Amino acid sequence: MVTAKKSVHFPSFDNEGDVQRLHPLKDLIRRLSETYGPSGHEDKIRELIRAEIKPLVDEMRVDALGNLIARKKGTGPAPRKKVMLAAHMDEIGVIVTHVDEKGYLRFAPLGAVSPLTLFGHRCIFANGTIGVFGREKKEAKATEVKLDQLFIDVGATDAIPAVQVGDAAGFWRAFGDLGNRLIGKAMDDRIGCAVLIETLRELRKSPHDLSFVFTVQEQVGARGAATSAYGVQPDLALAVAVTDTGDTPESNTMAVALGKGPAIKVKDSGMLAHPAVKNLLITTAQEGKLPYQLEVFSGHSTDAIAMQVTREGVPTGVISIPQRYARTSSEMVDFNDVQNAVKLLVSFLGKPLKLE
Q: pLDDT band at 12, cuts 50/70/90? A: very low
Buried b (16+ CB within 10 A) or exposed e, 21-33: ebeebbbbbbbbb
Both 236 and 206 in one domain: the answer is: yes
% of the chain at pLDDT higher than 70: 93
Q: Is the peptide bond before 14 cis (omega within 30 degrees of 0)?
A: no
Residue 135, domain extent: 93-171
Residue 284: count of CB within 10 angstroms of its CB: 22
Q: What is the CATH number of the domain that holds 135?
A: 2.40.30.40
Q: Residue 161: which region, alpha, beta or left (left: phi > 0; alpha: psi -120 to 50)?
A: beta
Within a domain: 290: yes
Q: Same structural domain for residues 246 and 99? A: no
On average, the pLDDT of the chain sits at: 91
Q: How many domains does the chain have?
A: 2
Amino acid identity, residue 90? D
Q: Residue 309: give its domain's CATH number.
A: 3.40.630.10
Determine which one of 218, 250, 287, 312 is catalytic.
Answer: 218
Q: Is residue 67 part of a domain?
A: yes
**Is residue 59 annotated as a catalytic residue, yes or no?**
no
Q: Is residue 258 part of a domain?
A: yes
The H helix count followed by the E strand count for the chain is 8, 17
**Residues 37, 82: Cα–Cα separation, whole Å:** 29
Say if residue 153 is exposed, middle or buried (CB neighbours under 10 Å; 0-12, 13-18, 19+).
middle
Asked, for residue 283, whether it belongs to a domain, the answer is yes
Rounded to whole angstroms, what are the CA distances from 226 to 141, 162, 213, 245? 40, 35, 11, 27
Contact yes or no for 285/247 (Cβ under 8 A): no
Query: Angle 187-202/335-349 helices, nearest 10 degrees?
Result: 50
Cβ distance 315 to 237 under 8 Å? yes
* pLDDT tens digit sequence for 196-229: 999 999 999 999 999 999 999 999 999 999 999 9
| 191 and 326, same domain (yes or no) | yes
Average pLDDT score over residue span 237-264? 94
| Inside any domain, residue 254 | yes
In this prediction the pTM is 0.91
8 A C-beta contact, residue 303 and residue 318 = no
> Which of 118, 150, 171 delimits the end of a domain?
171
